[in-house]
Structure 1
Amino acid sequence: MVMGILLFISACNSNGKKHETIKTGVQSTLAETLDTVLEANLNDDNAGLIISVWQNDVNLYTGMKGIAKPYLPITENTQFRLASVSKTFTAIAILKLYEQGFVDLEDSILDYLPELDQSWQDISLHHLLVHQSGIPDIFNDLETHQIIDNEITNDKIFHYFIENPMLEFNAGSNEDYSNTGYVLLAKIVNIVTGNTFASYMESEIFSPLGMNHSYILDEHAEITEQTAMNLATEHKIFGRESFSYGSAAQVSSMVDMQRFLSAFMTGKILQPETKALMMTTYSPPDESLFNGTGYGIFYFSDDGKTVYGHTGGHDGFRTIYAINREKNAFIVILGNGGDYMPDYSYMVELAAEFLE
């Protein structure tokens, strides 16, 4: 299903000792195969993960091992920070505004955020969505801990770039992963709707889809009892608490991810023409971070059209979803143990052996 996934495009640098995955191979059934790899690589009383495999709207397997927090085992309703998987949802938020006629994808970023420097005039919403803006990544290109004091928030990131408008390349001339672009997209949602990004996501995406265990963990959110703790060896990003959203910060359970992906695959979230825009490849494979870049998604498969999704790594949280269009199937893994987690790409490939 997924060959050569470059896992964990991170909202930040990953920390902790790298776990050497114990590869247990394919067993006689999907359940036995995934149960065996979980048993070999995880402990009941340490950080863990949950994995779910669906095909043709039927749950083929859901398994979990480990704890969400001390004395609380991971369940299907455990809420995980999705890290960069959040970007798929942010892209959909922008596309829903596009469907409603509130934004155009070719609009300049300055049409909505005029405080930014005039040298950014040629950067469009499209460029932000496909990582072609030239805006430096606040987490991976800059010394975040030196340029932002205390908590990392969207407002602080926005004001930093008002004062420091340097670009890495001209918009549209290259592709370079930028969390900053998705932070600014969330800001645009706020400006256009007059609501907070968290409120918009709740009213337009989470509530309509019955995603009752999802929320945006910004600086104003209350962490719920079911939200998993980061149980990796590091608990902050560059020594700071991070509440930047749009690029990350969505919290969702496995049940909610299943509801979202099922609705997305069956065309219940976006109109067909809009979904086609989202899934168009805007960079050739040799220039893309994976094998093709769409709006809030990357193509994992070598053909650049069959398997797509997103990965995430934020502090101790590691996430991935992968959709196989030809087999009408998807796989989701959510974990809270940082680099202690087994190799997700290996687990995805094991599961893919059983897709018909």
Structure 2
Amino acid sequence: MTTIVLHFLRASHAPSHGSISRRTSRLWLLLNLAGLLFACADHREPDPDDQNQLRVQAAVDSVRRALEDSLGHTVPSMSVLIQTPSQTYFASSVPAGQSPITPQTYFRFASNTKNFTATAILNMYEDGWLDYKAKITDLMPGSTQPYVPATAEWNFPNKDQITIEQLLQHSAGVYDVDNDSVPGFNGMSYTEAVQTADPTHQFTTEEMVHQLILNQLSYFAPGTGYHYSNTGYSILSYIIARVYSARSGLTKTYGDYLYDYVVGPGAPIPVTIRFPVRADDTVLPSPRVEGLELLPGNIQKRYGDYNMSAQVGEGNGYGNMASLNSYIRSLMKGQNVLTPQTVKLMQTSVSSANPTYALGCTFTPNLGYGHNGARIGNLAVMAYDPLTDVSLVAYLPLWDLTDGFTSFIKCFNGMYDAAYAARKSLGYPGKP
């Protein structure tokens, strides 16, 4: 197996964050005015908005072609949805003869899920259901039960010192059994090894915690460092399910809470986004785009329907670019499920070890606040810039691993280059 772990990336000169591991694990609708323009029989000049659409399309086309030149092969698609204070533009650049994706095309958006998890935690905080400053061994408000069980099966290293906030910031020191190698699995992560052996395995947070206990795994004492941890967010998903179950008196899952309060019909801004938690909930709806991995030896792997139960709370989300933009824009403007004051906490409550990662939220100059993600051949970023009132989502369904990390990082940076180029084409600050 090829394993690449990315804990902190700088896309060109802008800090961003993403984690990738294991090659087996890891678009408001606007008509494509460009196509309509070319179809017109008369020679009228397009109005300014049409010109802007053409500019955005040309910018994304240019970045895709540059990435193709750098990699030495075609890039299946490069897409950006960008919303300004007055208009929304969408561009999907594809090779000649290929059909572009649309703002409603479904894809797996990987670690962007972490921002939804943070939103769920902070919404529970606003409702008085939990204290994000509390230790995970403290009692849930109004309950005689702690946030995580007080049992031997949960006695992982430094458990009594870890706070919910530290898990959100990746400053808890929780070892990542989804990204990093675990003893006894031939240099693979625990989740990679298990899913390779049984693609239908139903993962639980408890079994991941068991690996922490069995091998006494941790990175550092809580609050003393920074290390990206999918397992830390798996624990957060467990806390969300546990708190919701206690409050409702019913057995609830992480996905239930997100659907009921953050993305579903009852949410302030409903969006077509889902977070499957079951191993048999694998189908990616249509229209869809599948992640593509290119491996040495001319090997290609495509990922569409997939068991995401190992990534609950940290990378199991799927949706489309229109929904992601609607979510991140309204959230960061304080117009969604969180109040403006709580959104400010999400954006600014950083640890001393990493001033760019707050509560499930990163800041990237000239893009703004949001998150990114990388998993099973998918690369995506969502962001809102309060300085310009511009939001965007960029998506690239490609991991080129033919030259290991070198070719992968070209893809990752290419996605960011497309986002910056789209902004610049509309007169906003682009790549720093």
TM-score by length of 1: 0.81
Question: 1:12-161 alignment to 2 at 5 Å?
Answer: 12-13=21-22, 29-38=55-64, 47-56=76-85, 58-59=87-88, 61-66=89-94, 73-110=100-137, 111-114=146-149, 115=151, 116-117=154-155, 119-142=158-181, 143-144=188-189, 145-146=192-193, 150-151=198-199, 153-155=203-205, 156-161=207-212
CA RMSD in angstroms comes to 3.2
Q: Which amino acid aligns with 2:231?
A: T
Cα distance change on mapping 1:264 and 1:217 into 2, 3 Å:
same
| Pair 1:323-2:393 in alignment | no
The whole-number CA distance in structure 2 between the counterparts of 1:325 and 1:251 is: 25
Displacement of 1:168? 1.6
Query: 1:11, 1:247 within 8 Å by CA — same for their partners in 2?
Result: no
The whole-number CA distance in structure 1 between the counterparts of 2:84 and 2:100 is: 26
Greater length-normalized contact order (CA 8 Å, ≥ 6 residues apart): 1
Q: Which amino acid aligns with 2:260?
A: S
The whole-number CA distance in structure 2 between the counterparts of 1:93 and 1:73 is: 33
The whole-number CA distance in structure 2 between the counterparts of 1:139 and 1:51 is: 29
Query: 2:175, 2:229 within 8 Å by CA — same for their partners in 1?
Result: yes
Cα distance change on mapping 1:131 and 1:187 into 2, 3 Å:
same
The whole-number CA distance in structure 1 between the counterparts of 2:307 and 2:220 is: 30
Query: 2:272, 2:319 within 8 Å by CA — same for their partners in 1?
Result: yes
The whole-number CA distance in structure 2 between the counterparts of 1:309 and 1:128 is: 17
Per-residue deviation, residues 95-152 of structure 1 (Å, max 9, x unmatched) = 1111111111122223321241174101010110000111111233223134775346
The whole-number CA distance in structure 2 between the counterparts of 1:211 and 1:35 is: 31
Per-residue deviation, residues 183-231 of structure 1 (Å, max 9, x unmatched) = 1101111111021111211111112255443111332425123342223
Query: 1:80, 1:335 within 8 Å by CA — same for their partners in 2?
Result: no
Query: 2:104, 2:320 within 8 Å by CA — same for their partners in 1?
Result: yes
Cα distance change on mapping 1:172 and 1:158 into 2, 3 Å:
same
Q: Which amino acid aligns with 2:281?
A: A
Cα distance change on mapping 1:33 and 1:100 into 2, 3 Å:
same
How many residue pairs are counted as aligned between the two chains? Answer: 330
Query: 1:187, 1:197 within 8 Å by CA — same for their partners in 2?
Result: yes
2:18 corresponds in structure 1 to: 9
Cα distance change on mapping 1:49 and 1:198 into 2, 3 Å:
farther
Per-residue deviation, residues 53-77 of structure 1 (Å, max 9, x unmatched) = 1122521x2111349xxx9752111
Q: Which amino acid aligns with 1:10?
A: S
The whole-number CA distance in structure 1 between the counterparts of 2:90 and 2:175 is: 38
Query: 1:7, 1:344 within 8 Å by CA — same for their partners in 2?
Result: no
Q: Which amino acid aligns with 1:112?
A: Y
Note the residue ranges of structure 1 that are not aligned, 5 or more in a row. 16-27
SS in 2 for 1:232: strand
Displacement of 1:295? 0.5
The whole-number CA distance in structure 2 between the counterparts of 1:281 and 1:98 is: 14
The whole-number CA distance in structure 2 between the counterparts of 1:41 and 1:236 is: 20
The whole-number CA distance in structure 1 between the counterparts of 2:131 and 2:175 is: 23
Displacement of 1:347? 1.6
Note the residue ranges of structure 2 that are not aligned, 5 or more in a row. 1-10, 25-53, 69-73, 138-145, 182-187, 246-251, 295-299, 401-407
Displacement of 1:352? 3.0
The whole-number CA distance in structure 2 between the counterparts of 1:75 and 1:338 is: 20
SS in 2 for 1:276: helix
Aligned partner of 1:170 among 213, 218, 221: 221
| Pair 1:247-2:273 in alignment | no
Query: 2:325, 2:392 within 8 Å by CA — same for their partners in 1?
Result: no
Displacement of 1:162? 4.7
| Pair 1:264-2:299 in alignment | no
Query: 1:98, 1:104 within 8 Å by CA — same for their partners in 2?
Result: yes
Per-residue deviation, residues 224-249 of structure 1 (Å, max 9, x unmatched) = 23342223236499xx9543211101
Q: Which amino acid aligns with 1:34?
A: V
The whole-number CA distance in structure 2 between the counterparts of 1:184 and 1:57 is: 40
2:276 corresponds in structure 1 to: 217
The whole-number CA distance in structure 1 between the counterparts of 2:136 and 2:302 is: 31
Query: 1:11, 1:139 within 8 Å by CA — same for their partners in 2?
Result: no
The whole-number CA distance in structure 2 between the counterparts of 1:109 and 1:164 is: 21
Larger Cα-atom Rg: 2
TM-score by length of 2: 0.68
